[in-house]
Amino acid sequence: MKKQLQIILISCLVTALSACSDPKSHATSVMLLLDTSGTYTKELNKAQSIINYILGTLTSGDSFAVARIDSGSFSEKDIVAKMTFDDRPSAANSQKRTFQAAINKMVDEVKSSTYTDISGGMLQAIEYLEETGAGNRHVFVFSDMKEEIPKGHVRDFPINFNAVTVTALNVTKLRSDNVDPREYMSRIEDWRNKVESSGGTWRVINDLDRVETLLQKD
């Protein structure tokens, strides 16, 4: 009888505690896509400082990945570094150091690609964010947002951006944009439509001095 009472009490306690736990994840998951096509590789130093800022902002339990956008970006090979930070802050700090070293190495050794498969990179990012199960999901695209897909690659289908915030960073103006600025605007508008039509949020940040608005955590 006493044992039964103990079991009932313990199960009540467990039920109460599980009822207290928040079903929504408060963790943040970030995927940063780096355009390595053409002359954009010169901009990677700026991307490095953005990555360092994000590393400093993320905390235990958050996830971060950096991937290249090249000729075929829907591939795990393009992921430069990815990590879910440890629960213990000290371990998370050492993970961040390792991450930083991996990014530094990539920036030093990067080679420019012929094509720019942004959609492939986006798909890869969405897949990664879904895997982490985080409550706050961000995709940062460090690119001029001009997509150039190799022949035979199919990217003309809707992507599910539901509950994902997509931020285009440092969207540089191309020479052709200077001739006809409508090209630049239509490029940005196309991506906005793609993201917002499938339930995502779209932002453009060109002034990299205002990076503090990048991550708005719960």
Partner 1 sequence: MTFSEIMAIWWPDQAGVSAAIWLVVIVLFMWLARSPAHRAIKSFSQIIRNAMRLSAHSVTSLEKHLRERNRQVLLTNGMEDTERYIEREFQRVEDVVSRDLSGYPSLQRELKDQITQIDDDYRKSAEVPPMPQNYIDAIDAVSKIEGNGDPMVTKILGEIQTTMRHNSEKEISEYRHSSKERHGLLKTMMPYWRNLSKTLESVEKKIVGLEERSKVIDAQIEKYEQIKAKTDVAERILSSSSMTQFFTSGLVLLIALLGAYVNFQLIALPMSEMVGGAARLGPMRASDVAALVLVFFEIVLGLFLMEAFQITRLFPIISSLDDKIRKNMAIIAFVLLFIFASVESSLAYMRDLLAADREALTQSLAGMTVEAPEFRWITTAGQMTMGFILPFALMLVAIPLESFVHSMRTVFGMIGVFMLQVLAFVIRQLGSLASNLGHILLNIYDLVIFIPLKIEQSFGSKNKPDIEKDTEKETKTKAKTNTEFKIKTETKTESEKDSVISN
Structure token pair of residue 178:
């200077």
Residue among 11, 15, 39, 93 that touches partner 1 (CB under 8 A): 93
Q: How far is CA 187 from CA 12, 13, 177, 192, in A?
A: 57, 56, 10, 9
Binders of partner 1 among 95-124, rule CB under 8 A? 96-97, 100
Could you tell me the smallest distance in angstroms from the CB atom of residue 24 to partner 1? 9
Structure token pair of residue 86:
């440890």
- Beta carbons within 8 Å of 93's beta carbon, 6+ residues apart: none
Residue closer to partner 1, measured from CB, 27 or 67: 27
What's the distance, CA 116 to chain centroid? Answer: 17
Residue closer to partner 1, measured from CB, 4 or 18: 18
Residue closer to partner 1, measured from CB, 86 or 177: 86
Binders of partner 1 among 38-57, rule CB under 8 A? 49, 52-53, 55-56
How far apart (Å, rounded) are the C-alpha atoms in residues 66 and 48?
Answer: 11
Residue ranges in contact with partner 1 by CB under 8 A: 17, 20-22, 26-27, 49, 52-53, 55-56, 59-62, 87-90, 92-93, 96-97, 100
